[in-house]
Every structure is written in C-alpha cells, then in structure tokens.
Amino acid sequence: MARAIPAQVVSANHLIEGDAIWFTGTGWCRSIAKAQVAETPEDAQVLLAQAQSGAEAARAVSLYLAEVAITPNGPRPTHFREIYRVRSHKTHPQLHEVS
Amino acid sequence: MYAYSDFDRDFLRARVDEFRGQVERRLDGSLSEDEFKPLRLMNGLYLQLHAYMLRVAIPYGTLRSAQMRKLAEISQRWDRGYGHFTTRQNIQFNWPRLTDVPDMLDALAEVGMHAIQTSGNCIRNVTADHFAGAAAGEVEDPRLTAELIRQWSTDHPEFAYLPRKFKVAVTASDQDRAVIKLHDIGLRLRERDGEIGYQVVIGGGLGRTPFIGKEVRDWLPKRDLLAYLEAILRVYNLGGRRDNKFKARIKILVHETGLEELRAKIEAEFASGRRLLPDVSPEITAQIAQGFAPPAFRDDPVVPFSPGPAFRSFLDTNLHPHKRADHVSVTVSTKPIGGTPGDVTADQMHVLADLAEQFGYDELRISHEQNVILPHIHRNDLGAVYDALAQAGLATANIGLVSDIIACPGLDYCALATARSIPIAQQISTLFGDLDAQADIGPLKIKISGCINACGHHHVGHIGILGLDRAGVENYQLTLGGDGTETATLGARTGPGFAYDEIVPAVGRLIEAYLDLREDRSEPFLQTYRRVGIEPFKAVLYGERDAKAA
Ligand code: SF4
C-alpha cells in the first residue's frame, strides 16, 4: 500500500528573537496550532513560496516544510525534532520564563 | 594572560561597529539572510533550534575575574541568566536577540573578549591544558605557545578560508589533559638536552570519521613553531578536499595522502623558507612571557585541618596537585546531580569571580570537560573556598566520576542535533546520584554527543554515547574503551543502538558489569575493559545470544 502523503506546514525562525514560528497563510505565529496546512506536496510548495514572498517574509529566517498530523486541536508535528521545537524548553524551566 | 594593545582595542571596536551596521542592514532589508549569515557566523552568531546562540572565545580557557563577571552581566542583561561552557573551553549564550548582539559584543570588548573565529573555516580558539601554569611536571606554561598561536592566527590573511575549521591544542605535560591527539594539530612541549621544543601531531579529529593524530615531528625547535605551523596550514589549505565538506578536514588529507608523503610536503614547504608573516620578535616573546609570569604565591605555612565528611569527599575528588606543595588547583564541577553539564548561572559566575579574586590570584580556567578551575589556591584557603562553593551549589564532589559527564547541547538547543544529550546526562547522573556510590565506581568518563559531529567527544569516552535519528526515532549508540589522553584510543561500538528510554538502563548494566568484573576497587573501568575486552559488556547489553549476532 502506498504511504499516505503527510500534511505539511511551513516553519521558520523569527528574524530578531530566533524562536520557532509558523506560517498562517497570511503571516507568522508562535503556535503551530494556527499554522496553515498543505495536504499535498504541490500545495506545500505553493505554501512555501507564499511564505517566502509574503508581506511578512522579512520576519522569518530558515524557512522549511515540516510534516504534521492533523488533529482536532490543529496540526501537530510528527518528527521528534519538530516536537521539541514546539515544546517549551526543558533544561532550566526556572530560567526560561519567556516574555 | 594576554594583554591588549591600543591596536587590539581599536580593532575590536571596529569589528563590533562593522557588525552593528550589518545587523542594521539586515533589519532594514538591505542584506538578505544569505548575505547576512556568513557575516554573523564570522562574529560567532549561530541560529539554533529555539533562538540565536552567541559563542564567545575563551582563549585557552583562561579567564580573569573581571571577565567572568562580565560574562555573568551579559547573561543577566541580554540572555537568560546563565551560560554554557563547551568542550572547546568557550562559552555559549543560548538566547540572545539579534538586535542585542552588537551590545553584547561591545560589552565583551570592554574586557578584551570577542566571538571572532568561533565559527567558520578558520583557525579556531586554541585550547590548552586547563591546569597550565599550575600543574607539577610541566616543561613550561603551554599558554605561552597558545597565546603566540592566538596572536598569529587571529585574522591571519592566508588562513581565513580553509577547506574546513581547524583546531589546535597545546599541552606541556606527559599527561595529556588537552586531548591533543584528537585535534587538527596537537602540540606537546618537551625538553631535550636543556632545550624546549615540540612534538607535533597532525590529523587527529572526532566527528563522522574519527582519527587519532599522527606524529609528524618528534622534535621541533621552539623558534621554528610558527614557520612549521604555516607550512602545515599551507599544505592543507592547498590539498584539503574542498569538494566534499565531510572529507575536508586535515585528518582526511593525512589518511588519503599518507603520513609520509604529507610529511615530505610539509617539510619541503617548511624548508622553502616562504613566510607570509615575519618571525616573532624577541620583544613579542618577552611580552607574552611577562603576561604569563606566575603570580606572587603566598608563602604562609600550611595549617593542618580536619574536614567534615562532605568537605573530605570534595578534597578527595576535586583537587589537583600544584607545582607548589602549599597550593592546589581546585576543579569546580558544573555538574550537580541531575544538572546540565557546563551550565553556570550568573550568580554562580559572580561567586567564582569573587573566589578567584579573593583567593585565586585572579585566575579561572574552563576545562574541555566543561568544568571551572581555580588553578592556584593556597591550602589554608580551601575551607573558605569550599564553603562559598557549597553555598552556591558548586561543590559537587564528582570530578572524574560517573556523573562528571561531558554532554553537548544536543537537541535541546542545537540545530544540527539528531537526538537529545542533556536529558541522558541528567538521568545517568541521577541514577548514580549517591556520591559515595560514585566514589566506589571510581574514575569513569562518560561522554555524550547529540549527533555525529561529536562535540561531546563520545569517541573518547570510556563510555561514549552518540544520539542518532533512526527513521524518525531517537536512537543511542554506545562505544566503549575510548580514551582522550596520552594513550588515546577510539571507543569500539558495542552493536545496535538503544531507544531513548533504554539507553540509561543500558549504561546502568554496563556499570554493574564492571563492578562484577573488576579485580578490586583499584582497577578503574578503563583498565577492566582493556583486560576483559568488549564481550562481557556486550553480553550484559544484549544478552548472550544477541551479543554474538551484534
Ligand atoms: S555534537 Fe551535534 S548536536 Fe552536539 S553540539 Fe555538536 S553539532 Fe550539536
């Protein structure tokens, strides 16, 4: 059986803060739940092109497509690397109060 | 310690101003990320998983109190109140905002520090024995050599764009604490007929294809050092593989060309007398020597004392003999049980700076094992130093023991990581939390890398752990019997890797097996391993039957 083609979102790092951000279709957000999902490889390429050229493209660095699963709470990352990017940082919880 | 001239200070200011302008142009869009990235990397600024990371050079791991205080201040003002000491004796700030970095660099420049050449294909921060200038049995302070190389290699016009990064380490003792055989060039000072010179080792390295360095010269007179380094670098610069990033280090050139042929090329280049830079003047040599003159050691007679049990353990574990009987070097562990190896908070940095100033002749060192060293402490001050360290959570008595783990940042920070390393270190440390039990296990070096780049030196860990991504799942390979010292050896892979929740129990089984196998408490892990070989360890990892298949 052919492997199901995973859905994808566009992820990047914020130009100034450097933290993980996701493309909403019109801009960027810090919650993957609000990311725009592309369900086919073709749509994913279109979405990536939009993210690269959109009005807010200048805020984003190192853009790439990341695989997600679609859940009732929105897209969730499937690869552990992306899961750690989504989670808050763990090694010094007391020092990581993000403003 | 190095001393900056007006020229150095002006140069640094100009570099920071230049970078400030580059950041402004990046923000207003005149520079694209492709254009900006090499510029930020030249100033030590990486973009990691969660944030930017600024890597600051600590030349040969030596710091003065004022510099440690400045690092604390920077971490409080522009980062999150802590810094991470690395296996290259550097410090990394993990959370700076791009717009703050020029100010951070300005602050560093105030104390003669910078982030230049902490990235890119150039000669990186020269590292040295962390007990340099303090250890008994040294030929001379290896930092004299490291400083000479630092001055020579900083902004060296010919070697600014090498095939790949280039790392030099220096030691001056028979005991190699600087891992010189795993560097692109390793130098060991030695004495012959009353003259001081070098053993020169090239082509060592960890990473994807690890190699133990090979001796290219067993004797190099001191006066020839820079000319010889220039010859090595020139041969490498021309011959190194620029076609393949994974084959571009000098270790591959040595391997593919063969030591004899490469040595002939280096010697021919050396003999040609072609030099880009003039020989070092006696004034510069004298100036450097003056900067590293030993402090005016106190002569107070040593007063005997009787320590309590916790202090006793600390004295047993964290001291290193000093060249003077009335002094010792104190290693401060950055690895409390369950903590993150190498991380030190701003408050702790202040405590360390105060101790160095009050008791340690204003000197601090960072070791490649990610600990902090007070190299010169009078024995009479040990009680006061210990009390202050204990209050600051810095008195863990575990140096050289199972919880004194090297761990790279791994997937908690690093964009290149394929697995987490810090939580593995934390769990191993917690598993063997009891310090008495650790002392019973004895000397044991566990080293963990979060990817094949091997920043955590896993190849030379007595137990090495390498985190990989196997089909989208974290998987950890084990190596045994590695050694980064004068008897350098690469660890041998045990067999198939372990899942994230299996690796710590697997390490537990290895240590249990060692305790069963050792002849007695005086036989450390590495010695037992060398005596019995890998098979008994494989058996406890995989079971008797799987061990044969592995
Ligand atoms: S070994 Fe890999 S994961 Fe660890 S710091 Fe180096 S590049 Fe990053």
ipTM metric? 0.91
Tell me which residue of B490, B509, B491 sits closest to B547, measured CA to CA.
B509
Q: Is residue A96 part of a domain?
A: no
pLDDT, mean over chain A:
87
The answer, yes or no, to whether residue A96 has pLDDT greater than 50, is no
Q: How far is CA B503 from CA A92, B402, B414, B448, B456, in A?
A: 22, 15, 21, 11, 16
Please give the CATH topology (third level) of the domain spanning B309-391.
Sulfite Reductase Hemoprotein; domain 2 (3.90.480)
Q: Is residue A56 part of a domain?
A: yes
- Which regions of B388-543 does DSSP assign to beta strands (E)? 406-407, 446-449, 463-470, 473-480, 492-493, 498-499
Helix (H) or strand (E) holding B254: helix B250-257
Indicate the number of domains in chain A. Answer: 1
Q: Is residue A59 part of a domain?
A: yes
Helix (H) or strand (E) holding B329: strand B327-332
Cβ-based contacts of B472 with chain A (< 8 Å): 78-80
Q: Which atom of ligand 1 is nearest to the CA of B409?
A: 5
Pocket test for ligand 1, best of B455, B465, B469 (most atoms within 8 A of CB): B455
Give the per-residue pLDDT at A3.
Answer: 59
**Calpha distance B65→B350 (Å, rounded):** 8
pLDDT band at A55 (very low <50, low <70, confident <90, very high): confident
A33 contacts A5 by C-beta, under 8 angstroms: no
Q: Supply φ then ψ for residue B187, to 5 degrees.
A: -120, 135
**Calpha distance B266→B261 (Å, rounded):** 9
Q: Supply φ then ψ for residue B124, to 5 degrees.
A: -85, 180
Please give the residue range of the domain that contains residue A35: 7-87
Q: How far is CA B319 from CA B87, B306, B322, B328, in A?
A: 20, 16, 9, 6
Q: Is residue A1 part of a domain?
A: no
Cβ-based contacts of B103 with chain A (< 8 Å): none
The CB of B417 under 6 Å from ligand 1? The reply is yes
Give the per-residue pLDDT at A90.
Answer: 61
Ligand 1 center–CA B316 separation, angstroms: 33
Write b or e for each residue in B376-408: b if 16 or more Cβ atoms lie within 10 A of its Cβ, otherwise e.
Answer: bbbbbbbeebbebbeebebbbbbbbbbbbbbbb
Chain A residue with CA closest to B28: the answer is: A58
Query: What CA dihedral angle connects B219, B224, B229 and B230, to 10 degrees?
Result: -150
Give the per-residue pLDDT at A97.
Answer: 38
CB neighbour list of residue B126: distance below 8 Å, 6 or more residues apart: B59, B60, B146, B149, B150, B153, B168, B169, B170
CB neighbour list of residue A63: distance below 8 Å, 6 or more residues apart: A10, A11, A12, A23, A48, A51, A52
Write b or e for each residue in B513-540: b if 16 or more Cβ atoms lie within 10 A of its Cβ, otherwise e.
Answer: bbeebbeeeeebbbebbeeeebebbbbb
pLDDT, mean over chain B:
96
Query: Most distant CA pair in chain A: distance in Å?
Result: 48
The CATH architecture annotation of domain B406-549 reads 2-Layer Sandwich (3.30)
Q: What is the nearest CA distance from B430 to chain A, expressed in angstroms? A: 14
pLDDT in tens, B398-435: 999 999 999 999 999 999 999 999 999 999 999 999 99
Rg (alpha carbons) of chain A, rounded to whole number: 14
Give the Cβ contact number of residue B312 at 10 Å. 12
Give the per-residue pLDDT at A2.
Answer: 53
Q: One-letter amino acid identity for B471?
A: A
Please give the CATH topology (third level) of the domain spanning B6-110.
Sulfite Reductase Hemoprotein; domain 2 (3.90.480)
Tokens representing A31? 């919650």
Q: Looking at the domain that runs over B142-289, which CATH code has it been given?
A: 3.30.413.10
**Calpha distance B318→B399 (Å, rounded):** 5
The CB of B455 under 6 Å from ligand 1? The reply is yes
Tokens representing B298? 């106190």
Ligand 1 center–CA B417 separation, angstroms: 5
Helices (H) and strands (E) in chain B, counts: 17, 21
DSSP code at position B85: E
The domain segmentation of chain B, as residue ranges, is 6-110, 142-289, 309-391, 406-549
pLDDT in tens, A56-85: 888 999 999 999 999 999 999 999 999 999
Write b or e for each residue in A33-67: b if 16 or more Cβ atoms lie within 10 A of its Cβ, otherwise e.
Answer: ebbbbbeeeeebeebbebbeebeebebbbebebbb
Ligand 1 center–CA B421 separation, angstroms: 9
Q: Is residue A44 part of a domain?
A: yes
- B6-110 and B406-549, same CATH topology: no
Q: Is residue A2 part of a domain?
A: no
Write b or e for each residue in B190-212: b if 16 or more Cβ atoms lie within 10 A of its Cβ, otherwise e.
Answer: beeeeeebbbbbbbbbbbeebbb
Tokens representing B279? 């020989």
Q: Supply φ then ψ for residue A18, to 5 degrees.
A: 80, 0
pLDDT band at A99 (very low <50, low <70, confident <90, very high): very low
Q: One-letter amino acid identity for B373?
A: I
pLDDT in tens, A16-31: 999 999 999 999 999 9
Tokens representing B306? 């009787």
- Interface membership of B48 toward A (CB under 8 Å): yes
Cβ-based contacts of B340 with chain A (< 8 Å): 91-92
Question: pLDDT under 70 in chain B at which residues?
Answer: 544-550
